[in-house]
């Protein structure tokens, strides 16, 4: 069976045995953690448009991306708030830093490279996740309140990729901590808890029912019910389903 490791940004990720994975996917700047652990170049990376917004947390991620690369890069647009069409247009004009052209330019300036660039409306990424979760109406309602984190979108992209039979999640903790330095957003908010945590747990709970999703992180297994895949050095992994 072909296995994709989706690596988040959590410090000290619990990694599976290297022989257990065939490819790697990343979220935002977790490619820095992948490189530090000697993992291969990601076959796909999901990134939030907020990385080039000018916010301190975005600049932090851009610095970590310097000199890295990925095969496919998915840009996840920022959630667009409501209001009239005129108000949305005015906000978009002010938020040019998160538009695809500016995003690509800023990543190239940081020395980051990719083979294929893709972006869709955020609603399309929502529908991808919902489709994998059986169109759960409770989940759709939750998305109207808060959409999933970039890491969970990366998991969905991996599950939807026809090249892989299963996905193992590592480096995820439902917190804002990063393996490549202190995330400025923690100090700004006074909390390390991700605002996406509740939505992420809901999504992962439903994805776990598919039978092709595993995790090496005990916190993900405990909170979302994702079957635990033993990390390197912790014994043999469970039999594949």
Q: Does residue 36 belong to any structural domain of this protein?
A: yes
Q: Does residue 241 belong to any structural domain of this protein?
A: no
State which residues form the domain around 71.
3-224
Average pLDDT over residues 55-80: 91
Integer angstrom CA distances of residue 176 from 188, 193, 230, 234? 12, 6, 24, 26
pLDDT higher than threshold 60 for residue 235: no
Q: Give residue-wise pLDDT tens across range 100-124.
A: 999 999 999 999 999 999 999 999 9
Check residues 226 and 239 and name the one with the higher pLDDT: 226
Q: Does residue 240 belong to any structural domain of this protein?
A: no
Number of domains in the chain: 1
Q: Does residue 65 belong to any structural domain of this protein?
A: yes
pLDDT value of position 81: 55
Q: Does residue 8 belong to any structural domain of this protein?
A: yes
Q: Does residue 230 belong to any structural domain of this protein?
A: no
pLDDT value of position 163: 96
The CATH number given to whatever domain includes residue 199 is 3.90.1480
pLDDT value of position 54: 86
Instruction: Note whether 216 and 229 are within 8 A (CB).
Output: yes
30 token code pair: 């977790």
pLDDT band at 91 (very low <50, low <70, confident <90, very high): low
Q: Does residue 237 belong to any structural domain of this protein?
A: no
Q: Give residue-wise pLDDT tens across range 148-198.
A: 999 999 999 999 999 999 999 999 999 989 999 988 899 988 998 899 999
Burial of 136 (0-12, 13-18, 19+ CB in 10 A): middle
pLDDT value of position 80: 58
Instruction: State the pTM of this model.
Output: 0.89
Q: Does residue 198 belong to any structural domain of this protein?
A: yes
Q: Which residues are CB-neighbours of 227 under 8 A, at least 6 positions away? A: 208, 213, 214, 215, 221, 238
């Amino acid at each position: 069976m072909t296995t994709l490791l989706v690596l988040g940004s959590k410090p000290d990720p619990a990694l599976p045995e290297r022989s257990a994975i065939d490819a790697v996917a990343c979220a935002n700047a977790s490619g820095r953690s992948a490189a530090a652990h000697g993992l291969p170049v990601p076959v796909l990376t999901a990134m939030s448009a907020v990385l080039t917004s000018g916010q301190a947390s975005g600049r932090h991620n851009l610095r970590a991306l310097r000199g890295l690369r990925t095969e496919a890069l998915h840009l996840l647009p920022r959630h667009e708030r409501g209001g009239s069409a005129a108000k949305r247009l005015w906000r978009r004009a002010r938020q040019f830093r998160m538009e695809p052209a500016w995003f690509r330019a800023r990543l190239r300036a940081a020395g980051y490279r990719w083979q294929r660039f893709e972006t869709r409306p955020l609603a399309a990424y929502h529908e991808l996740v919902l489709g994998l979760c059986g169109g759960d109406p409770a989940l759709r309602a939750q998305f109207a309140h808060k959409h999933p984190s970039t890491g969970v979108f990366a998991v969905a992209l991996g599950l939807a990729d026809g090249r892989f039979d299963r996905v193992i999640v590592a480096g995820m903790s439902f917190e804002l901590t990063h393996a490549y330095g202190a995330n400025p957003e923690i100090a700004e908010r006074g909390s390390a808890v991700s605002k996406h945590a509740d939505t992420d747990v809901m999504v992962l709970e439903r994805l776990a029912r598919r039978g092709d999703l595993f995790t090496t992180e005990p916190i993900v297994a405990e909170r979302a019910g994702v079957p635990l895949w033993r990390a390197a050095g912790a014994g043999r992994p469970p039999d594949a389903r």
